[in-house]
Amino acid sequence: MARAFSLLEALSASGGEASLASIAARTGLAVPTAHRLLGTLNHLGYVRQLEDRRYALGASLISLGQHAVPPLADAALPLLRRLEDTFRETANFAVLDGDLVLYAGQVASRQRMRMFTEIGRRVLPHSTGVGKAMLSTMPERQVRGLIGRTGLPRFTPQTITDEEALIVDLRRARRRGFAADDSEQEVGVRCIAVPVRGLGQPAAVSVSGPSARITDARVVEVVEALRDAAAEIAHLAAEGNVTASPR
């Protein structure tokens, strides 16, 4: 069972899809063993095989992720809906789960061209707005330790892959109170994120969508709305018996 979970984690860390050879190398499993286990996971719906023979995370994980959503993510949904209503872009709530960003809550944009991430998906923090917003609240020594474990893989030409450059970017995010992902996770997608403080673990709320719509002119308005939402989420956590931690 541990080997099967390691395959799912390897796929998640690879951005949700990868080749058999890459998955085997990342997990340290022999290729025939990885192939056999992936076949079982494919049959159960937890992975799927693409036309090019690469593997991707499967739809069965979505329902699992929805049941594992932190209670606070449920409470935050009205605030995410308000953000989507205001900007017509996807609104996200995420927490740091170990070394990875966990997308715990989302209200997807109703526009045809939109950003969408499955609830429960885990990604590396260095290339995402929510991830960088959370890292910006952490001591730099702790950040360096985290990226020493995860590495800084490149997902697009804009991904920050140099440790010192990332630290500089996080310092900038800390000064201005928000972080930005400008085509660093996906080309053409921009994410503006604000940390949610006072939850006992790093968390963030964001608005994301096509770069052509989330322009520099809109960032000030987006950041103001995100700060309001972050403050309300923190208030919900302080006033109620809800937590950010996954169940």
CA 137, CA 244: separation in Å to the nearest integer? 16
- Read off the pLDDT band of 169 (50, 70, 90): very high
Please spell the DSSP secondary structure of 165-208, one letter per residue.
Answer: HHHHHHHHHHHHT-EEEESSSSTTEEEEEEE--SSSS-EEEEEE
Nearest C-alpha neighbor of 108 from the set 193, 206, 15: 206
pLDDT at 12: 76
Mean pLDDT score, 9-38 = 87
Give residue-wise pLDDT tens across range 177-187: 999 999 999 99
Task: Please state, in angstroms and rounded to a whole number, the distance separating the CA atoms of residues 242 and 76.
Answer: 10
Residue 148 reports pLDDT greater than 80? yes
pLDDT score recorded for residue 63: 57
Looking at residue 115, the DSSP 8-state letter turns out to be -
Q: Looking at the predicted structure, is the pLDDT value of residue 230 above 60? A: yes
Residue predicted with more confidence, 247 or 92 = 92
Nearest to 100 by CA among 66, 130, 72: 130
Tell me what percent of the residues of the chain surpass a pLDDT of 70. Answer: 90
pLDDT (0 to 100) of residue 11:
83
Degrees (nearest 5) of the Cα angle 146, 194, 182?
A: 75
Measured from the Cβ of residue 160, the count of other Cβ atoms closer than 10 Å reads 19
Whether residue 68 is predicted with pLDDT greater than 70 in this model: the reply is: no
Q: What pLDDT was estimated at residue 247?
A: 39
Predicted local distance difference test score (pLDDT) of residue 64: 60
Tell me, what's the pLDDT at 130?
97
Q: What is the mean pLDDT of residues 24-44?
A: 90
Strand, helix or coil for residue 96: strand
Plot region of 223 (φ>0 → left; ψ -120 to 50 → alpha; else → beta): alpha
Most confident of 4-8, 160-164, 214-218: 160-164
